[in-house]
Amino acid sequence: MNVTIVDYNSGNISSVINSFKEVAKDKVNIEVTSDLERIKTSDKVVLPGQGSFKSCIDGLNSINGLIDTLNEFALESKKPLLGICVGLQMFADIGYEEVETKGLGWISGKVSKIDNQGGKFKLPHIGWNEINIKKESMIFKGIENNSHMYFVHSYEFVPENKSVISATTNYSSNVVCAVEKENIFGTQFHPEKSDKLGLTIISNFINL
């Protein structure tokens, strides 16, 4: 089996790569690439994301044909895809970080700044926080409700259809921190930085 981590200049993704390789050991081939043919023929794809919504979308657009290839993989072939942090946010129709930017449009909704209630809550939201699992999700197998995951973000994904929400975290409000729509999965938190529980989520995705 091949699991491809998409490399599109979205910042340092070494911790994502290392965690997936640690979980996969020698049983699964983990490849890091922006090669369109490699992505198309993968069994699963991971879309990491560090930086702003706009910088990540610009990164995808900088590689000719990459967005079309990801659309084909996720929407037509319907193979499993996991978005992490801004990788999840890019599923939205539109994002409002820096400037209004069109997203991938895979899950209807928007990405807007977390309401910090006039400075009551620090932004970015950094550190460990409990997740509230909202629905049974294959990537949460073996994960107890109210487990702690590691976050670094100032913006949140607000989906139109609440049925895609698989977990929230309480920071100023109930912030969406995981989504699942058919073969498309996303976590706002960083599983690769969330210790053993995060590795369990990575393992669950690899084993889908």
Residue tagged active-site, from 97, 156, 177, 190:
190
192 catalytic? Reply is: yes
Query: Which class for 30: exposed (0-12), middle (13-18), buried (19 or more C-beta within 10 A)?
Result: buried
Among residues 97, 156, 180, 192, the one annotated as catalytic is 192
Assess contact for 49 and 89: CB atoms under 8 A.
yes
Cβ contacts of 20 within 8 Å, gap of 6 or more: 3, 5, 30, 46, 192, 202, 206
Q: Smallest Cα–Cα separation from 153: which of 59, 61, 90, 76?
A: 90
**What is residue 76's DSSP assignment?**
I
180 is catalytic: no
Catalytic residue among 85, 97, 125, 177: 85
**Is 153 in the active site?**
no
Residue 11 has phi, psi (to 5 degrees) of: 100, -170
Could you give the residue numbers annotated as active site?
85, 190, 192
